[in-house]
Structure 1
Amino acid sequence: MTRLDPDRYLHHLRRDSARFRDVLAGCDPAARVPACPDWDADDLLWHLAEVQWFWSDVVRHRPAGPDDELEARRPARASGHEALLAQFDACSAGLVDALAAADPAEAAWHWGPEQTVLASYRRQAHEVLIHRLDAEQTAGVEPEPLDAELATDGVAEAIDLMYGGDAPAWGRIEGGEHVVRVDLTDVGVALWARPCTFLGTDPESGKTHDGPHVLLVEDPGVEADAVVSGTAADVDAWLWKRRGREGIEATGDQAALEGFMAAVTPPID
């Protein structure tokens, strides 16, 4: 119910990439990134350049995933602020061109469950939206408003993909007893989430991932145990830890709220 048409994702990808670039062009390269304090502005610039290059490579080599030649193709980080800006321009244009030339319905590798080109349209539009906000916060400029349509889908994606989603083959999910409604007050959209628990150990890394989890679910047709509400932009930025909870209300059963908050507390880059 929150998905955008592919051309809308591409529009936002272009627009927010341009804003990201313009803000960082005039920023002190050594300025720290508030949400990622280990990074300075040039690290942020390189990060998004590399991410956009990677996904352009994935789309161009569809449907196969990253191969043994990936590292040989990967560009080295440019040296100096102006060179990094030029590198970002090339990587960003490459991603837009690769996506625009592909059928969104075509099969393509993705780390998430949706193995289509459209998964990269969606994920990369949200990636640059959040990093555009990072750039504005780093440069100390007034942030442009987050587009409400895109932010609405961003809330759904954050809950369903970044914090939750189905378990891999090596894990399992123990369903919780509560449901939490997330009301996006400016767009009239309600999303439903079920706090639960993930249990499992990744056989490749040996790392155990037991802990709070959340599932985005259909409207269960019952009263919510708790409600979290705010504008789409505020909730999206809050879930990504790019703003606090000012203006976001949380009411209802305390255990339900604690389960939801525990699931969405870990930071995501």
Structure 2
Amino acid sequence: MTRLDDATYLEHIRRESARFAQVLAACPPDARVPSCPEWDATDLWWHLAGVQDFWHHVVSTRPTVPEDYEDPQRPEERDAVRAFFDDAHRRFVTALAAADPADHAWSWSSRDADQCVGFTFRRQAHEALIHRLDAELAAGTPTPLPTELAADGVHEALDTMYGELPDWGRFDPEPLFVEYRITDVDRSVWGQLGTFTGTEPDGTEHVAIPDQHVVDDPGRPADLVVSGTADRLDGWLWHRYDDTGITVEGDPHARERAFAVLEQPID
């Protein structure tokens, strides 16, 4: 799939962050966040504030690895949390607007192509989008995800969040293919099922863990087809929506293997 342009990602960061703050400002501070049950509304506000503060640091100090970043001290008062978010967001979007997306910059991705500011444009557009939905779920006022960003989000969730392959592990593919069919934009994202094996730097071992990676259309029928609108698929992949509007058809074994991957937490 063709990604959106960076100016569009930046506009989505602005728009979704503004909606996020608007919803939380009207939400009781102790309202629980159903999609993140360990958080209340103020915790959610502080989380995105910290995320945008961190990525402001990454962009502003590029290409330095952010080893000297210090987590901000959370204020006790909710109004101060909101003020910190407003300031972090302003600094973040100002830094992005002044940056060349092609500039070398650190990212947590293991892919060389992601070591640039463009990674932050895309990843943080989806971060703001999903947390906007979290805020609306806490307030009981969910609204649909914008179609083009959500369609891009289906690919980003599958490729970046589920499909990240650290350099200390390997993916062993199997001849099982899943087509994620985005019905309202007539596009598909293909995944190949397999297993992940590797040993983390701290010695933790992972052996034959169910895994999936985005691949080009293999030119053969899918073993499993998962269909839905961009809004429903993106929210479902992020475990924000139930399976209402999601259709799953195909081989039961492929379904079991795919769901073993999709049921894993992503954050």
User: TM tier, shorter chain?
Assistant: over 0.9
Tell me, which stretches of 5 or more residues in structure 2 are unaligned? none
Amino acid at match of 1:170: W
**Which residue of structure 2 aligns with residue 263 of structure 1?**
261
Specify the SS of the correspondent of 1:181.
strand
* 1:176 CA drift (Å): 1.4
**Which residue of structure 1 aligns with residue 169 of structure 2?**
171
Cα distance in 2 for partners of 1:208, 1:34 equals 32
Cα distance in 2 for partners of 1:17, 1:236 equals 18
**Which residue of structure 2 aligns with residue 45 of structure 1?**
45
Cα distance in 1 for partners of 2:205, 2:95 equals 37
Q: Deviations over 1:199-252 (max 9, x none)?
A: 11102x322233111110001111111100000110000010001111100001
**Which residue of structure 2 aligns with residue 111 of structure 1?**
108
**Which residue of structure 1 aligns with residue 35 of structure 2?**
35
* 1:2 CA drift (Å): 3.5
**Which residue of structure 1 aligns with residue 98 of structure 2?**
101
Tell me, which stretches of 5 or more residues in structure 1 are unaligned? none
Q: Does 1:91 align with 2:88?
A: yes
Specify the SS of the correspondent of 2:37.
strand
**Which residue of structure 1 aligns with residue 69 of structure 2?**
70
Q: Deviations over 1:12-71 (max 9, x none)?
A: 00000000000001111111111111111110000000000000000001011112x312
Cα distance in 1 for partners of 2:149, 2:2 equals 8
Q: Does 1:250 align with 2:257?
A: no
**Which residue of structure 2 aligns with residue 130 of structure 1?**
130
Cα distance in 2 for partners of 1:46, 1:208 equals 33
**Which residue of structure 2 aligns with residue 231 of structure 1?**
229
> Stretches of 4+ moved more than 4 A in 1?
none
Q: Normalising to structure 2: TM-score of the pair?
A: 0.96
Cα distance in 2 for partners of 1:32, 1:80 equals 18
Cα distance in 2 for partners of 1:26, 1:207 equals 44
Cα distance in 2 for partners of 1:28, 1:168 equals 40
Q: Normalising to structure 1: TM-score of the pair?
A: 0.95
**Which residue of structure 1 aligns with residue 154 of structure 2?**
155
* 1:107 CA drift (Å): 0.5
Cα distance in 2 for partners of 1:194, 1:59 equals 33
Amino acid at match of 1:158: A
Specify the SS of the correspondent of 1:129.
helix
Question: Percent of pairs identical after alignment?
Answer: 53
* 1:188 CA drift (Å): 0.5
* 1:190 CA drift (Å): 1.0
Conserved? CA contact 1:194–1:260, under 8 Å: no
Conserved? CA contact 1:2–1:156, under 8 Å: no
Number of residue pairs the alignment of both structures matches? 263
Cα distance in 1 for partners of 2:17, 2:33 equals 17
**Which residue of structure 1 aligns with residue 189 of structure 2?**
191
Conserved? CA contact 1:180–1:225, under 8 Å: yes
* 1:258 CA drift (Å): 1.5
Amino acid at match of 1:237: G
